[in-house]
């Protein structure tokens, strides 16, 4: 079986496990809400979903974060030690309750506002 077909099976299973309907319009909507780059079309995500193509690494990372799976597993079907979830737990443990609240508010913003806030933070972080 091709790599793209195996990837599509993992993507479909992850969507189902996450409570999402396995449909291109659902994948397109959910992906574009989280991705800060150029939006992808329904036709492009259809190719991911039906084993005709594999997304680029930056897009794969967004898919994995959204679906709560390890990006390496999503792409290759293998688990690595020190998964993304374990690393995220260590990162989250360092946050104060107020910081967690701010992150939750940020994540509740529409994609265009999250992008704007991200750009402001990046500008403030520059020396």
Number of helices followed by number of strands (H, E) in the chain: 8, 0
- pTM for the full model? 0.64
What range does the domain containing 113 cover?
A: 95-125
User: Could you give the number of structural domains in the chain?
Assistant: 2
Give the pLDDT confidence of 45-102 residue by residue, as tens digits.
999 999 999 999 999 999 999 998 999 899 998 766 555 555 555 566 677 778 878 8
75: tokens are: 């792409």
CB 46 within 8 A of CB 14: no
pLDDT band per the 50, 70, 90 thresholds, residue 107: confident
Residue 89 forms part of a structural domain: no
CB 60 within 8 A of CB 71: yes
* Whether 60 and 100 share a structural domain: no
Residue 88 forms part of a structural domain: no
Residue 35 forms part of a structural domain: yes
Residue 54: exposure state from Cβ atoms within 10 A (0-12, 13-18, ≥19): buried
């Amino acid at each position: 079986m091709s790599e793209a077909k195996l990837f599509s099976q993992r993507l479909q299973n992850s969507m189902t496990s996450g409570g999402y309907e396995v449909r291109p319009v659902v994948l397109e909507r959910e992906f574009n809400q989280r991705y800060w780059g150029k939006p992808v079309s329904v036709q492009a995500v259809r190719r991911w979903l039906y084993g005709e193509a594999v997304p680029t690494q930056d897009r794969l990372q967004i898919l994995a974060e959204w679906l709560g799976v390890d990006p390496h597993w999503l792409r290759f079907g293998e688990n690595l030690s020190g998964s993304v979830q374990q690393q995220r737990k260590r990162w989250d443990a360092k946050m104060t309750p107020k910081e967690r609240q701010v992150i939750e508010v940020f994540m509740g913003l529409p994609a265009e506002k999250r992008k704007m806030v991200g750009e402001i933070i990046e500008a403030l972080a520059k020396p």
